[in-house]
Amino acid sequence: MKAVYAILKRELRSYFASPTAYIILLVFLVLSGIFFFVYLETFLQLQNDPRYYQEAPNLNEMIISLYFGTINILLLLMVPLITMRLLAEEKKSFTGEMLFTSPVRTVYIVLGKYLASLTLFVTMLCLSYVNVAMLQVYGNPDGGPIFTGYLGLFLVGASFLSIGLFASSLTENQMIAAIISFGTLLVFWVVGASSEMSSSVAGYLSIINHFESFINGVLEVRDIVYYVTLTLFGLFLTNTVLDSERWR
Amino acid sequence: MIKVENLTKRYGELVAVNGVSFHVERGEILGFLGPNGAGKTTTMRIITGYISPTEGSVRIGEFDMADDPLSAKAIIGYLPENPPLYNEMTVEDYLDFVAEIKGVQKELKKDRVAYAMERCGIEDVSGRLIGNLSKGYRQRTGIAQALAHDPELLVLDEPTIGLDPLQIIEIRELIKSFAGERTVILSTHILQEVTMTCTRVIIINEGEIVLEESMSKLSQDTAHTAVVALKLRSSGAAVSEKLRSINGVDSVAEPQPGVFEVGVENGVDVAEQISKTAVESGWGLLEMRPVKMTLEDVFIKAISTEEE
């Protein structure tokens, strides 16, 4: 397990030694910030709309839900960028030869890499909270859906990262890794997006269907199970690819 | 220290390594010699556990690479063909990381890293980014990486490739200094490297071992005169005939009129007899030169017989 920590540490250092991490964080914050202020402005305009005198516009519904939905879509774009180099780079720069001849089980290498990407992702989420915190200071949104929303985003991101890591294990070309993970995530996204979750397999597999309840402040076991399973499956596939590569 | 039995690696139709078996004793420096594409790198990758053989087994010390890879890997230091370096790290941080994942205990880590840097002469660049280092320093950092966990066995794949002559000498000295203390396998396609550093040599060609010999035996063999080159004023079959009758002469060839190549039996000195005969017969001896067999000849002979 010491090896997991060593790899995690090295991986994080390498994220922040190059501009990669900063650019990913910056782009994410700028994009999510722009959307946040669009939603905020719409909300403020509606507040003064006489048609809403009867029923006050709801902060959670009109800003936070939309904001979380936007972050979810942004993750689709950002996650492949976070994960693409994790394993592809090891192959390209021959460092894999050192890593995989070390007395370390492959699963620990996979875990170390994965936790590094997860750490960067959680940093992203924490920074995105600044906007929400502003609403909490100046308004009075319901805390429950914010909590479940973030939990949902964390689970979505965790499963995305594991798929991205898997894509990175398949090739030594970062660009190809990014394209594979983006394509796979997109398929998971659109598959059965039009069908109901309960009515079809495609509907159950769809990432977007499971996220809905989190935004509405509802925790459902089957949604949590879905994301955790997807994450473990991605890690398992990564481990299998790395192990089998040496048997070819 | 190492027992390699019947190692075979196939990539589909292509057989990269074919039934290679050899043993290496503790403290030996084994040279793995062969032309490019002979299967040296594949063999080393199998020994270090980076890839698995199609058939055969590797034992490192008392551990089998297939049954207990983690214990076997723990005592190997491996320098791949391309040094495995993270360009965005400093030399010291990098060695620190390697020591950590190779399982060096925390208290020992600092000493191990310092030792590896000192041994490879890279202390003065310890704080620099690896990406900014020259080729020679990169290669040395690669060797330091292999030393970081004090391994009993060092596997070095072309350790001097791409270095300038002075650096090559330094690296060879370094490898030589490991003799007795560690077991070393080094691969190369440079013949002098084997002559200068190794205690034993294995020549491999097209995935098969074609020669396995200790260097002391080899230098004994090559110390003898194998051929005497003669230049005479006379020429013709009569001269050849008379040369052949000299005791200890194996063969006589006359590639040009008056130029003879006299093949000699191992260990027999025929120079005196030849010169005496030449003078007595009035051939007009212009030149007599012993031609010694070099490792190059051994190498070329070993490889070319294989191709026939």
Q: How far apart, in whole angstroms, are the C-alpha atoms of residue B278 and residue B298?
A: 31
Mean pLDDT of A142-151: 90
For residues B188 and B280, state if they share a domain.
Answer: no
The region of weakest confidence among A28-37, B65-74, B174-183, B261-270 is B261-270
A137 in B contact zone (CB under 8 Å)? no
- Average pLDDT (B134-157) is 91
Q: Is the ipTM of this complex over 0.90?
A: no
Tell whether B298 is covered by a domain: no
Cα–Cα distance between A9 and B148 in angstroms, integer? Answer: 19
Residues B37 and B125 in one domain: yes
Looking at the structure, tell me whether residues B178 and B53 fall in a common domain. yes
Regarding whether B145 and B29 lie in a shared domain, the answer is yes
Residues B186 and B243 in one domain: no
Domain membership of residue B305 (yes or no) is no
Q: What is the largest CA-CA distance in chain B?
A: 81
Reply yes or no on whether the pLDDT at B247 is more than 60.
Answer: yes
Do residue B33 and residue B145 come from a single domain? yes
- pLDDT surpassing 80 at residue B118: yes
DSSP B131: G
CATH of the domain at B271: 3.30.70.100
Kindly tell me if the per-residue pLDDT of B307 is higher than 50.
Answer: no
Mean pLDDT calculated for residue range A54-79: 85
A22–B contact, CB cutoff 8 A: no
The answer to whether the Cα torsion of A179, A181, A183, A186 is positive or negative is negative
Q: What CA dihedral angle connects A31, A37, A39 and A44, to 10 degrees? A: 180
The answer to whether residues A60 and A135 touch, using CB atoms and an 8 Å cutoff, is: no
A244 in contact with B, Cβ within 8 Å = no
Judgement on whether residues B215 and B287 belong to the same structural domain of the protein:
no
Residues B233 and B176 in one domain: no
Does the structure show a pLDDT above 90 at B221?
A: no
Domain boundary among B201, B220, B239: B220
Q: Are residues B8 and B148 in the same domain?
A: yes
Q: Are B169 and B270 found together in one domain?
A: no
Most confident of A60-74, A148-162, B189-203: A148-162
Contact assignment for A98 to B98 by CB distance below 8 Å: yes
Per-residue pLDDT at B308: 43
pLDDT tier, A204 (very low <50, low <70, confident <90, very high otherwise): confident
Please indicate if any CB of chain B lies within 8 Å of the CB of A104: yes
Specify whether the CB–CB gap between A138 and B115 falls below 8 A: no
Q: What's the pLDDT score for residue B224?
A: 66
Whether the pLDDT of residue B31 is over 50: the answer is yes
Q: What is the pLDDT of residues B149-168, one digit of tens each?
A: 989 999 999 888 877 888 88
Is residue B304 in some structural domain? no
Mean model confidence pLDDT for chain B: 86
CB-based contact B214:B200 (threshold 8 Å): yes
Nearest CB to A103; choose among B51, B52, B74: B74
DSSP B161: T
| Overall number of domains in chain B | 2
Q: Are B161 and B268 in a shared domain?
A: no
∠ CA B234-B239-B243 to the nearest 5 degrees? 130
- Domain range enclosing B239: 225-292
B254 in the same domain as B214: no
The pLDDT, as a whole number, for residue A184 is 93
Contact A10 B86 (CB under 8 A): yes
CA distance B245 to B268: 14
Checking if the pLDDT of A248 tops 70, the result is no
Average pLDDT on B212-241 reads: 79
A contacts of B97 (beta carbons < 8 Å): 6, 9-10
Q: Which residue of A has its CA nearest to B68?
A: A103
